[in-house]
Amino acid sequence: MTKTKSALETAMFYKEMEKITPQSSMYREVRLQYIDMANGGNGGELGFTPVDYTGPNRYSEYGPSCREYNYPSYPDAFFQEVCALMGWMW
């Protein structure tokens, strides 16, 4: 079973990423995904289907969404809290 991280742990991880590589495309993508998920969205499609994914969109040409694969049980409030801690307007 995967350990669920707290919003604070998650924000600390992304604060460190921001400090090390503030202009990286990965950091910008994560920011946009979290803002989308804070507003009830799915964070966008992954664009591929991970080998271990067995969920509902496993046969889609775009694969599952970020939220379906990485955060299936996380509520909007989690992403809202991370965004607030990061200073990202959602």
According to the model, what pLDDT value does residue 56 have? 80
Whole-angstrom Cα distance, residue 23 to residue 43?
Answer: 20
Burial class, 67, CB count within 10 angstroms (exposed 0-12 / middle 13-18 / buried 19+): buried
Whole-angstrom Cα distance, residue 22 to residue 34?
Answer: 16
Residue-number span of the structural domain to which 80 is assigned = 7-86
pLDDT tens-digit readout, 44-65: 999 999 999 988 877 788 889 9
Q: Residue 1 pLDDT more than 90?
A: no
Regarding pTM above 0.75, the answer is yes
Structural domain count of the chain = 1
Measuring CA to CA, which residue among 23, 41, 17 is closest to residue 90? Answer: 41
Query: What percent of the chain clears pLDDT 70, i.e. is strictly above it?
Result: 96
26 within domain boundaries: yes
2 within domain boundaries: no
1 within domain boundaries: no
pLDDT tens-digit readout, 2-61: 456 899 999 999 999 999 998 999 999 999 999 999 999 999 999 999 999 988 877 788
